[in-house]
Structure 1
Amino acid sequence: MPVQLIPLDDDRFDEWRDATRARLIRLRQESGILLGDDAVAEVDAFLTQLLPAGRATETSSIVRIADGDRELGTLWMMAAGGILHLVDLALVEAIEQRILDELFDVIATIARTHAVERLRISLYSTDVAGRAFVEGRGFDCASIRMLLEPVPSRGSTTAPLELTRMTEERFAAFAAESEEAFAADLVASGRYSEDEARTESRRQMALELPDGLDSAGQELFTAQVDGTEVGVLWLGIRDRDGEPHVFILDIEVGAEHRRRGFGRAMMLATEHEARRVGAGSIGLHVFGFNDGAIRLYEGLGYRRVEERFHLDLSTQ
């Protein structure tokens, strides 16, 4: 008998929610993306937001994955905006390839039946079973969260680069350029339409920089070499398990200054800034299509802690 997706019985919802909560907390903590009580608080907020009415939440579908009499795990799905979100795929660790193939076929059939053409799933670095489901099925990596921990002491940069606090005059142009560039990257990642990307980029800028250069916890720099600007760097100073954490919100080398080592020099300068504020870790987000940046970050010791994948079923 092929794999079946069976709606979760009402009397099992509380058990499922408790197990899912524990699993999501564990995955965040094991991957390092969140630690301690931060992971607990984030997961509790996540479950409250997506399951406001508990089992009766109409936007969610929670099913058991069964192969005959064998229960292989659970799947939590949500459909929105033409996308079927696989919110949590909880599989037993050792699972046959046949099962994965049949599970994918069942999910794809459900999506097409509801006129949904795209699948989306986020996976943490330690989710072995989830990664086995994604591999070899045409999923594209839309984005990656990366972490460098601990912050190394590498000495001076190889390029004569200096970070200078951004001026109000430069900020006005930077804010417009950064918002436009982020929107373009969102579209290129395949996650947003042009209108959605502009709205999301504008929202993110307003959230992070409500008071412009004076926004709390934000440090913005221009990178200069011999008095000439070669790039810009935007760092957010965050809290991670009670300790300072630096998150790279934007790093950009001017087009005419690329392939001269300035990007690496700016990353090393970021490490210096992290040590200055007492941060023991640095995080960043990179779009999956940006191969050059990914190679740079991994070469500096950053590791992947979370990846978001999407699949266009119309191409299958």
Structure 2
Amino acid sequence: MTVRLTPLPSARYDDWSAATRERLIRLRQESGSRLGEEAVTQAEQYFTELLPQGLDSTASQVLLIADGADELGTLWLGANAGRLFVIDLAFSIAPSTSQGDEIVAALRAIATGEEASLISIGLFPQDAEGRRLVEGRGFRVASIQMLLEPLPDRIVADHVIVAPMTPERYPSFATASEAAFAVDLAESGRYTPEEAVVESRRQFVLELPEGLDTPGQELFTATVDGVEVGILWIGMRDRGGRPHAFILDVEVAADHRRKGYGRELMHATEREARRLGAGSVGLHVFGFNDAAVTLYEGLGYRRLEEQFILDL
């Protein structure tokens, strides 16, 4: 093994941090995952939280990737709760296949030393070298952030009635939605079953502290001939200073699938987003949900960022 990962020299930190800030901002702005100052703010948060004392920080480490006299790039790593996170990966020289194998082997060794059970890396569509590194080396897509913008002019079929959820329906929805999200979190590989239950509960309480009366949260049921066939939950966000609708849950009842109701619920999302003044719709989908990804891409959603994981 000739590829080495060694600590970044302190004399190079200022140049590295300036270039990395620019890279983090550019990737987010180009992909559309963050707009304008939102991308700047997120990049600054990374440095504030993970490198508060620069290279002396304990929350993460910055490494040089070298092969002999050739410097291939840099790695910014963080470890937490049994996971090794690749915060940023920047290549100055595209690694060969064998060098890529050695880089991943070195990451595995670092993860083992940190007692991590998986390696996680987020990649944007334009991050070609990062994608080449994960392809064919055991990584899988854990989750995908997607966006539909601008909103197309589509209508909901007349026989599918998507209306606000009633207070009577809300308790059973809340119980089922929270439990289903915990199952998905565990199946994605990012959480243990026990961690998934805690995380699902945390996010549910964060989004709906006042249930149906929570400002900025819109919940619906879809019915056909008086029979419920699905649910829809939209949370309103801000995107570049404009209202943005984010799908927090969309589900077709098990005995009503493969009838086109999922597509109609997505059309209803577009209708409600327009009503609420939004010009875009975003969502998160787990990588294992191939049918959902196919549906969303068929409707024009594009991938903003993908989270890859490697189980150890």
TM-score range, shorter chain: over 0.9
Query: How far apart, CA to CA, are the structure 2 residues paired with 1:190 and 1:159?
Result: 39
User: Which position in structure 2 is the counterpart of 1:244?
Assistant: 243
Shift of 1:260: 0.7
Residues 273-288 of structure 1: pairs in structure 2 closer than 5 A = 273-288=272-287
> After superposition, what is the alpha-carbon deviation per residue over 1:121-153, rounded to whole angstroms, capped at 9, x for unaligned?
111121111111100101111111111111111
User: Which amino acid counterpart does residue 104 of structure 2 have in structure 1?
Assistant: F
User: Which position in structure 2 is the counterpart of 1:151?
Assistant: 151
**Residues 73, 91 of structure 1: 8 Å contact kept:** yes
Aligned length: 312
User: Which position in structure 2 is the counterpart of 1:84?
Assistant: 84
Query: How far apart, CA to CA, are the structure 2 residues paired with 1:20 and 1:185?
Result: 33
Uncovered stretches (5+) of structure 2, i.e. residues with no partner: none
User: Which position in structure 2 is the counterpart of 1:226?
Assistant: 225
> After superposition, what is the alpha-carbon deviation per residue over 1:91-129, rounded to whole angstroms, capped at 9, x for unaligned?
136432232122112222232344434211111121111
Summarize the Cα distance change of 1:147–1:80 in structure 2 as closer, same or farther, 3 Å threshold.
same
Query: How far apart, CA to CA, are the structure 2 residues paired with 1:113 and 1:45?
Result: 27
**Which moves more between the two structures, 232-241 or 158-167?**
158-167
**Residues 123, 130 of structure 2: 8 Å contact kept:** yes
**Which moves more between the two structures, 80-89 or 295-304?**
80-89
Uncovered stretches (5+) of structure 1, i.e. residues with no partner: none
SS in 2 for 1:307: strand
Summarize the Cα distance change of 1:295–1:74 in structure 2 as closer, same or farther, 3 Å threshold.
same
User: Which position in structure 2 is the counterpart of 1:5?
Assistant: 5
Shift of 1:268: 0.8
Identity %: 56
Tell me whether 1:120 sits opposite 2:144 in the alignment. no
Summarize the Cα distance change of 1:131–1:159 in structure 2 as closer, same or farther, 3 Å threshold.
farther
**Residues 159, 261 of structure 1: 8 Å contact kept:** no
Shift of 1:68: 1.6
> After superposition, what is the alpha-carbon deviation per residue over 1:10-65, rounded to whole angstroms, capped at 9, x for unaligned?
12222222211111111111111111111111221232122233222113121111
SS in 1 for 2:169: helix
**Residues 92, 129 of structure 1: 8 Å contact kept:** no
Q: TM-score, normalised by structure 2?
A: 0.95
SS in 2 for 1:167: coil
Query: How far apart, CA to CA, are the structure 1 residues paired with 2:276 and 2:50?
Result: 35
User: Which position in structure 2 is the counterpart of 1:46?
Assistant: 46
User: Which position in structure 1 is the counterpart of 2:205?
Assistant: 206
Query: How far apart, CA to CA, are the structure 2 residues paired with 1:93 and 1:245?
Result: 38
User: Which position in structure 1 is the counterpart of 2:293?
Assistant: 294
> After superposition, what is the alpha-carbon deviation per residue over 1:156-192, rounded to whole angstroms, capped at 9, x for unaligned?
2346212111111211111111111100100111111
Query: How far apart, CA to CA, are the structure 2 residues paired with 1:87 and 1:262?
Result: 38
Give the root-mean-square deviation of aligned CA atoms. 1.5
Query: How far apart, CA to CA, are the structure 1 residues paired with 2:286 and 2:189?
Result: 10
Kindly report structure 1 stretches of 4+ aligned residues shifted beyond 6 Å. Answer: none
**Residues 73, 93 of structure 2: 8 Å contact kept:** no
Residues 166-177 of structure 1: pairs in structure 2 closer than 5 A = 166-177=165-176
Q: TM-score, normalised by structure 1?
A: 0.94
